[in-house]
Every structure is written in C-alpha cells, then in structure tokens.
Amino acid sequence: MIKSQDSTATGSRIKADVPLSEMFGYIGDLRTMTSGRGQFSMEFSHYAPCPSNVAEVVIKEAKERQEAKAK
C-alpha cells in the first residue's frame, strides 16, 4: 500500500508497505523500469497475519519439501 509520494530535484520518492515476499526480484524490475538509475531501500515495519490463501500455499510447499526429504 502506497503511504506517500514526493517529488525531489533528482526524481521521485515513494513510501509503501509491501510484503517481503513481493520484494524478491524487485531491484531488477526497478532498474529495468528506470534504465538502471532507480534505487530502493527497505526496513522492517511490522508483522501481520498471513492471508489464508497464502498460508495454504506455504504450508503445502513445506509439506512437499518434508516429504521429498524423507524419501
């Protein structure tokens, strides 16, 4: 969720809350969109309950890994 957006002399600054799982690979996408000039930083904000549909996928994948490891 975007919290704020500011324009500066050198570009734009966007502050947002984003699930960590969505940040993997983001730097490549950002650099592609900005011709290599984009930068980002992140810091931990808070823990939040996982949506049930995401939890189901994570649990299923963990069980599959455990079963494959047990073989």
pLDDT at 10 over 90: no
Mean pLDDT of 32-45: 93
- Report the chain's mean pLDDT, rounded to a whole number: 92
Mean pLDDT of 32-55: 92
The structural domains of the chain, with segments of one domain joined by +, span 2-70
Close Cβ partners of 1 (under 8 Å, ≥ 6 residues apart):
16, 17
At residue 62, what is the residue type? A
47-63: per-residue pLDDT in tens? 999 899 999 999 999 99
DSSP 8-state assignment for residue 22? G
Question: If 0-12 CB within 10 Å is exposed, 13-18 middle and 19+ buried, where does residue 47 land?
Answer: exposed
First to last CA, the chain: 42
- As given in the structure block, the two tokens for residue 24 are 């993997």
